[in-house]
């Protein structure tokens, strides 16, 4: 299908990935082609979530009878995919040419090419039957978005934690000052017994509690979809059998009751953005954490969060038909394979680096990072590639978010790697997207905040009575 859709070679080719074809360039060329035809028709996408909120995204496509109309299908499907993981939804309205609605409905079906998304968004996240509604542009429901405040509570003695796939970070925070921070290695994705997770988390919380005279509140962050302190689905619990996932759903509620203090846990991307907003004392912040996967979070221009998922790990950034395939969703070119340790491991063989077997993912990443710190040319190319990926991805994200700041952090940004990513991203934006470069500030936090800042910001989540 991509033979009908124009892909564009980037001006900055990642040194270890010559086939990279940025989503943002393909989308912009498509829009130019539609505009130049003088025949564009509206495409309106509406995504309904369980709380009755509706997100809308409007664009232009070729009319049904145009010679280029087959290109509409690739363009629209990638838009739907991105919007589902950015904003969430159990029902998608496709307002535009009938062929687009029919194609999306076929793809996002129980036996379609996007069956993973069908089941994930429907059954797992929103506990509904996922559906696609082909319609006219005027029949898409009006936008109904909601925002609410998140965190920023710094009074009292608090514990903050961040659950990553290779390490568990925990902090003790007294009146907004971290008095203790610790990173603890663990391997949650390989574990089939929920008690492993519970034991590790409770032990970390008690360790932090021992560093303060009392505990008034606990706040946490983790990859995945969390609704009312309940993980609906998360890669950390990938090894838990479905018949035991109920123990995970209520785990944090049970820990809250056991410890007897307010406890709030949200998606780690939201805490990334919150940490950035608090540090910058400004809003319009997109936080991108490069850890075991890619975590995204967004603080609006008004300083609030939305009900969006912001699961950018599964949102496409590369439209190449040969882009790497995500092992979980089965889709190509998604963020997790470009902005996480998965990317480092994927590019390491191309860089001439053989990672030892029989060690944890955290140790594998450290092994490659040590090569980078000693000046290994191949390792340098890995992080240069990530930097170029990042520049094009930020330009892509800017088509879906109102941005003033992008904060980049996470384990993959430690040491020289963070500077290389920042340099590469800024090069891309300055040369290819100068209007964006002039209005969006991209930055790294300091080294300490880069590694444990999320757990400190997480501590601010619960309000005290």
Q: Are 226 and 265 in contact (CB under 8 A)?
A: yes
Q: Quick one: average pLDDT of 348-363?
A: 95
pLDDT surpasses 60 at 226: yes
Residue 74 predicted with pLDDT over 90: yes
- Is the model's pLDDT at 264 over the cut of 60? yes
Instruction: Tell me, rounded to whole angstroms, the distance of Cα 453 from its chain centroid.
Output: 17
Distance, CA of 288 to CA of 343 (rounded, Å): 15
Dihedral sign for Cα atoms in the order 122, 251, 253, 291:
negative
Across 18-84, where does the E strand assignment appear? 41-48, 54-61
DSSP tally for the chain: helices H, then strands E: 14, 17
Give me 166's structure tokens. Answer: 């290779």
Which of the 8 DSSP states describes residue 349?
G
The answer to whether 232 and 121 have CB atoms below 8 angstroms apart is no
Residues 6+ apart with CB under 8 A from 417: 369, 372, 383, 386
Residue with token string 């939201």: 270
- Distances 55 to 97, 134, 269, 277, 333 between C-alpha atoms, Å: 20, 16, 19, 24, 24
Higher-confidence residue of 83 and 237: namely: 83
Predicted confidence (pLDDT) at residue 1 exceeds the cutoff of 70: no
Give the model's pLDDT for residue 245: 87
- pLDDT at residue 289 tops 90: no
Q: pLDDT per residue over 386-407, tens digit each?
A: 999 999 999 999 999 999 999 9
Nearest partner of 267 among 244, 299, 234, 314, judged by Cα = 234
Segments making up each domain of the chain, as ranges: 39-145, 148-266, 271-456
79 sits in which H/E element: helix 69-87
Is 208 within 8 Å of 162 (Cβ atoms)?
no
Q: Given a cut of 90, is residue 278 above it in pLDDT? A: no
> Architecture of domain 271-456 in CATH?
2-Layer Sandwich (3.30)
Out of 39-43, 91-95, 165-169, least confident range: 165-169
Fold of 148-266: Nucleotidyltransferase; domain 5 (3.30.420)
- Whether the predicted model's global pTM rises above the 0.85 cut: yes
Taking residues 310-336, what's their average pLDDT?
95
Q: Which long-range contacts (CB under 8 A, 24 or more apart) does 59-65 make?
A: 59/31, 60/31, 60/34, 60/35, 61/34, 61/96, 61/97, 61/100, 62/34, 62/37, 62/97, 63/39, 63/97, 64/97, 64/98, 64/99
Q: What angle do CA 278, 449, 425 make, to 5 degrees?
A: 85
Q: What is the rounded average pLDDT for all residues in the chain?
A: 93
Q: Cα dist. 97→35, 48, 62, 70 in Å?
A: 16, 20, 9, 11
At 446, the pLDDT band (50, 70, 90 cuts) reads: low
Distance CA 315, CA 23 (A): 10
Residues in a beta bridge with 159: 172, 218
Give the count of beta carbons closer than 10 Å to the beta carbon of residue 35: 11
Query: What pLDDT was estimated at residue 3?
Result: 65
Answer yes or no: is pLDDT of 6 > 90. Answer: yes
DSSP per position, 86-140 = HH--SEEEEES-HHHHHHHHHHSSTTSTTHHHHHIIIIIIISS--EEEEE-GGGS
């Amino acid at each position: 299908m991509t033979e009908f859709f124009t892909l564009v070679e980037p001006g900055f080719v990642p040194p270890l990935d010559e086939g990279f074809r940025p989503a943002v360039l393909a989308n912009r060329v498509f829009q130019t082609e539609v505009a130049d035809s003088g025949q564009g028709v509206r495409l309106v996408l509406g995504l309904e979530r369980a709380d009755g909120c509706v997100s809308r995204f409007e664009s232009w496509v070729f009319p049904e009878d145009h010679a280029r109309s087959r290109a509409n299908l690739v363009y629209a499907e990638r838009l739907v995919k991105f919007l589902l993981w950015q904003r969430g939804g159990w029902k998608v309205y496709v307002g535009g040419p009938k062929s687009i609605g029919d194609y999306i409905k076929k793809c996002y079906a129980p036996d379609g090419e996007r069956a993973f998304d069908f089941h994930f968004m429907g059954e797992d996240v929103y506990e509904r039957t996922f559906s696609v509604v082909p319609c006219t542009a005027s029949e898409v429901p009006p936008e109904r978005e909601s925002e609410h405040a998140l965190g920023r509570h710094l009074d009292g003695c608090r514990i903050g934690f961040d659950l990553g796939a290779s390490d568990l970070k925990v902090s003790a925070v007294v009146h907004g000052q971290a008095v203790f921070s610790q990173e603890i290695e663990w391997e949650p994705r390989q574990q089939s017994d929920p008690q492993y997770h519970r034991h590790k988390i409770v032990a970390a919380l008690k360790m932090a509690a021992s560093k303060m005279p009392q505990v008034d509140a606990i706040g946490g962050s983790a990859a995945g979809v969390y609704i009312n302190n309940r993980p609906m689905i998360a890669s950390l619990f990938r090894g838990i059998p479905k018949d035991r996932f109920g123990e995970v759903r209520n785990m944090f509620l049970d820990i809250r009751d056991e410890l007897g203090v307010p406890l709030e846990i949200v998606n780690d991307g939201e805490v990334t953005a919150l940490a950035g907003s608090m540090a910058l004392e400004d809003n319009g912040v997109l936080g991108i954490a490069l850890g075991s996967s890619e975590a995204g979070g967004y603080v609006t221009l008004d300083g609030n969060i939305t009900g969006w998922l912001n699961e950018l790990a599964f949102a496409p950034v590369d439209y190449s038909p040969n882009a790497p395939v995500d092992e979980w969703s089965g889709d190509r070119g998604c963020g997790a394979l470009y902005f996480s340790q998965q990317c480092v491991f994927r590019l390491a063989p191309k860089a001439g680096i053989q990672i030892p077997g029989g060690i944890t993912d955290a140790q594998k990443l450290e092994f490659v990072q040590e090569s980078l710190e000693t000046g290994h040319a191949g390792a340098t190319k890995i992080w240069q590639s990530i930097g170029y990926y990042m520049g094009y991805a930020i330009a892509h994200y800017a088509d879906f978010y109102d941005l003033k700041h992008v904060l980049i952090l996470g384990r993959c940004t430690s040491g020289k790697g963070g500077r290389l990513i920042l340099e590469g991203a800024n090069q891309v934006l300055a040369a290819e997207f100068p209007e964006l470069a002039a209005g969006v500030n991209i930055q790294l936090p300091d080294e300490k905040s880069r590694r444990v800042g999320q757990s400190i910001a997480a501590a601010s989540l619960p309000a005290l009575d």
